[in-house]
Structure 1
């Protein structure tokens, strides 16, 4: 039987993707900064487990800690920052509360692509950023992997976590 050379990579990818993600080693890809020539406006909302936060400071920083832009939240949970042309990406979006006496209130989000301009900042984005850093740095693959590890879907039946009710009506019935 003859196989097309185009099918071999698909077969290899299929076999590799069947492997469990739990045992995958940390990515060896280190974060690499890329310079973009155009300025970018980043925006989003800031919240914690109690709701929207309407005071505090948002600072956009490069990986080496250079401050690219900053703004103060004034009676609004929405922020907007203009990252100047020539800035290195990814950009770290730091939130510091008005009364910064508790490190637990500081939060982080990683703006990885300038083509995506909406980046909320909350405890989940902070946890994803911390996990991506542990996986080897702020790369798209590490951020994606860290986000996937935060989603809670049972392996046994692939139903939504916490579903209560008749399973025959979930997702429109049995599939």
Structure 2
């Protein structure tokens, strides 16, 4: 698809319904990422992602687990922007560099609990949610709950939307994220 189909919108060029979201993103991040500027072509998609992301961030999954899910989705779906963004977040969280490297390589994780989550995410995707009792038991045996299992589906939905939109629009890694590309 031609790059002009998904321009880097500014506050002036974006559809009116997307402008408040773009202003909020720029205020929070200090710049307007191309991914958001291009996603603004559809205010519903931009707003939907932001709402879904806020809901996912409010789940009972701990912060590191949410980031493991996000990076698992980013590498699985080949979203260079999400890999860079979540590498930056993990770095800010002082995550183990070996954990970050394994996530970036879609390799097994040294931490058994986080590896159980990564495997569960992949099992949910591979089975379209029809995970068996064995997969659920392997997940919950590491301290996760049935509630967390359902929250994983919210994370998968959130990061399916963003990774596919970012790939479709061809948005580049920009701003402070370039050092994590």
Pairwise same-fold verdict (TM > 0.5): no
- Using the size of structure 2 for normalisation, the TM-score is 0.25
Instruction: From the two aligned structures, give the one with the greater helix fraction.
Output: 2
Structure ID, larger Rg: 1
Structure 1-normalised TM-score?
0.26
> 1 or 2, which has the higher strand percentage?
1
